[in-house]
Structure 1
């Protein structure tokens, strides 16, 4: 790190996690290490352009707001989905133009709206009449993007209970209200839920979006922006390909007019697979049965649900650790439980695992931990959050 700015280390061909571990001397450190491969973001962006060529990705800053990541995405030319004044400040601070930003939070504090107005960030979401009146008072020149509810049947984090109006009952009324108040509705948006695993969900949502566009145009609004939200999987490219196929088919059918700008809010898609967390076992406990044989091994590691493994607590995900032992032949495995470092009894990472008999000082890794980890991490109980080191391929 130079002048407080993390340095990017370069590698040839493929990032070797074992080599990074060997060079980092993690056994002598108490702090876990987060290894972030920035080239993974480049590969994901190329995949996006290949499979969804008409849709402009706007990186969801809330997914991982590390300044190095945000600047990297800005340099790649993506748009941005911001949800607060501080996220706007960060993105704008990296030279991103306001036109590349959507203020995608339907219920924004007044001070945040005023900042958006000062910075000329005109596109923002809204989903109820109270927010329409708030915009009338504090940012009447903004472009209202009407957010409606359309959830996937399978998603890690459903959002419909909190945000989104009813597409049939509420959307026409809100557009009529905006017209009566001389406000501009310029598009519509939805979010099927974070971590969507149902590729038909986007087809249902796009059918609702088409109807909202038609009603808006009948009312007299100039509708030219469609935001299909996020929810795209980050570590399952086969599922993403199925989703992209459904989206493309539905877009071609329902929004053939190329003048309509279509954007999205992917976060997990870019970040999930970009990071690997390496933790050290600092304590161990054996649970034995009445015969004295090992029944369960418990391992206590230096990161947990208050750190970069928060996703195991907040989302219904299962993380599978990998070991870095030098094995000449397969080792016997035992039922194992992994605990985080805090005193919280809920700070349990995984259970019902079968792992080799590990020792204090051994390292274990967790892949696909780039999404919704760093922003949630806190030094609870006085334990440091993991250090992040950044890597990038010399050439792709």
Structure 2
């Protein structure tokens, strides 16, 4: 893939947050420093590691926890008791290959006293390997920073986010909430974006991306917004500028990450047959096995293999619209005629069956029984929020737009300094 140059900046504006001091905090302020306990510097998992001998093991495919524990000196009855004490607290079968097991022994050369396993950056599990063999799941304190980022696009939107140290989850989230409005497969130099999102901080380090609060994608002067808003009695969702659901009835593409290799063309020279033949679809090239999504909810009417189409799925969405997905390598589990599918559900995988020169999906869109170019189609819009809730939404929307307006677009030349001066819009303690 060609190298990507994209300016992404993290806008800095620290917001002062008022905090109420508790009675305990006030009492602590009056305590002399000499009276405070000395906290060991090398603390982890609640242990002063300098007081332990530490060894490490790694979970490998086919490993059994009991066998690992017995390799470290435990007996079968001890292992049995530990496994019993896990019930209702921690699911041993959820332990993943490649994760570390940390053993702590009070005396070097003796069997370990504790084992620590970290399922994620957000928590860890302490196994007491001595009587009474307790098991404790400890949740780490999470601080939520509100971060703003922006960029001016020169090539791939998704790849540029990743290449500039913004997480896969953020890229995936932006594409997800804007996929019904923005055609990410027709990106143009000069496209711009801004995003405000939550970043999870544990022990001073960023560990994950939280929800996206607001996003803006601008192309040729047209602005596409997605705002996080919680309607009364409903789960949090995303809405566009007018208060319509950001996730429309149809996605713009059946793939999340791809490039268009051949546009809809009634006079295309067929790459295999060697003569001009109407190409009633849009080809999306992608690696073999890439998941193919249903662009809208509906019912599968065909899931078969036939001639030049290869393996394909056809879905009826209502009395007007149908979609078809050709050249698959295979169907997703459960996909057969009569199956009801949801928007974004995986229905199959990219392949090159039938008349295909390489792995791709030929996406066809039908309206009233006639194949049409879906990229030029004005599809029906969902109903917007109404009444008093709409007024509440507008207040939230206008505040978020003001926040986005305060985020300058960054270019490649200013990116290094932006990262060096990185701050947060807001810091929230749990």
TM-score, structure 1 normalization: 0.24
- Structure with bigger strand share is 2
TM-score, structure 2 normalization: 0.23
Larger relative contact order (CA 8 Å, sep ≥ 6): 1
- Structure with bigger helix share is 1
Q: Which structure's CA Rg is the greater one? A: 2
